[in-house]
Amino acid sequence: MKWQNWFLIGMLVIVVASLALAINASREGTRTSTAGGGGTRFRARPGTMRENVQPMVSQSQERSDTSLSGDGASGTGGALANLTIHVSEAVLDRLLTADTMETIDAIQDHLAQDPGEEVESRLYSALAEQYLKLNPPETESAEESIAAAQETAQNAGDRHAVAYAQAMLFRREERVEEARAYIADVFEQAPVATAPGMRLAVLEGTLAEMEEDDRGAETAYRRVLTFAAELDRALSESAVESYRLAGLRLTRLLRRLGRTGDAEAVSRDVAGRLQQIDGGI
């Protein structure tokens, strides 16, 4: 009977494997049908193998993800639930640090529900950023999202958010000089202190350093510090991270230029303000 025992075991393995495959296919079908509901915009272009597209995450993004994942509702779904009434900076922080593919589908589904003009622009900007994080980036979809964000922008924060996405697109296309000019023009037209503006100014400083423009980098990083002072304690998590990063980079820049006294002053000021505002996040 030994061969019969082996035969039964083999049949059992086949049955279990078949059931597992069927369950997995059912789950995949449910996820596909949910993500593919009617009315969503800016899906992947026809022929794009979405399952082969991978998120592109930098080391700085990984650090940011770690620092922002410890409090509040976890996952994109919980954050998006709050968007129906109001888009807070904290909610947008979650959108920008969640899983890329998950976030794209969630934002598209929410946009299809007509969330309102006070929400729309910021969602399109976040969507554009997610498209640019894919590997390879979906630049056409990002451009469409940016155009929609520009059309629906309501205030300075909206304009700063879409400018960040546009500048990141320029940067990916190695159009650094154009990106810098674009950011400068946006700040000239909308000089109001906003959390997205702080993030945009950090990018402005980064681009200036890429072109070895120390004066431009210093101006950009000091803009972040000024915005933080104007916003006082009303800072989101991303705004605090922008402030922290700008302070570190400005301190490093000033030390490299031999301006040790200025560097120490910036370091003290930033450390002091962080102690005041970190507890309020």
Q: Identify the CA nearest to 194 among candidates 149, 146, 159.
A: 159
User: Is 169 within 8 Å of 146 (Cβ atoms)?
Assistant: yes
pLDDT of residue 115: 79
CA atoms within 13 A of residue 47's CA, in its CB half-sphere: 0
Answer whether residue 270 shows pLDDT above 60. Answer: yes
pLDDT of residue 99: 63
In this prediction the pTM is: 0.68
Averaged pLDDT score across all residues of the chain: 75
Answer whether residue 174 shows pLDDT above 60. Answer: yes
* Nearest-angstrom CA–CA distance, 250 and 205: 9
> 10-37 burial, b if ≥16 CB within 10 A, otherwise e?
eeeeeeeeeeeeeeeeeeeeeeeeebee
Q: What is the mean pLDDT of residues 213-219?
A: 98
Q: What is the mean pLDDT of residues 161-176?
A: 96
pLDDT of residue 117: 81
pLDDT of residue 89: 59
Residue in this structure with the two tokens 């980098």, named with its chain if needed: 217
pLDDT band at 234 (very low <50, low <70, confident <90, very high): confident
Instruction: Identify which has the larger pLDDT, 237 or 264.
Output: 264
pLDDT band at 278 (very low <50, low <70, confident <90, very high): low
* Nearest-angstrom CA–CA distance, 216 and 152: 30
